[in-house]
Amino acid sequence: MTVTDMDTDCLFCKIRDGRIPANITYRDDYVLAFADIGPKAPLHDLVVPLRHMATLADASADDAEIYGRMMVVASKLARESGRAAGGFRVVMNAGPDAGQSVHHIHLHVLAGRPLGWPPC
C-alpha cells in the first residue's frame, strides 16, 4: 500500500493495516474479509477492498474488477461456511440515508437464518 491508497482515519483501513484487530476470514492482494463485530446472522462477514474507496456512489467503470472480486469473495465465504445452499444475502449501503456508517465500501455477507424482505 502507498500513502495514497489509505485514509489514516478510516476504521477499515486500520483493520487492513493491522492497527485494529479483527477476525480475518479472507485476504488476497485486492480484498479483505472479516467477521462483523455486531453480527446480524450466524455468518456476517464484511468484504472490503484493500484500496480505500469511500462509497459506491463514486464508482466508475474502472472499478468494475474490484466490485466483481468482492462478489466472488462473498460467494466463496458463503460456500466455505456451508451456508450457500440455503441462501445468503450480500448488501452494500451507499451514503448515510442507506445506512453506510463507515466510509470505505464494504459488502455485508449474511447467512444462516431466514432473512426477510424488505430488510429492517
Per-residue pLDDT for the chain (120 aa), expressed as one digit of tens each?
Answer: 443 455 668 999 999 999 999 999 999 999 999 999 999 999 999 999 999 999 999 999 999 999 999 999 999 999 999 999 999 999 999 999 999 999 999 999 999 999 998 876
| Pairing relationship of beta strands 107-111 and 43-49 according to DSSP bridges | antiparallel
The CATH class given to the 3-111 domain equals: alpha beta
- Ranges of each domain in the chain: 3-111
Count of beta carbons in the 10 Å neighbourhood of residue 13: 21
Q: What pTM value is reported for the model?
A: 0.91
104 is catalytic: no
Per the residue annotation, which of 52, 104, 106, 108 is the catalytic one? Answer: 106
In angstroms, the CA 85 to CA 7 distance is 37
The answer for 72, left when phi > 0, alpha when psi is -120 to 50, beta otherwise, is alpha
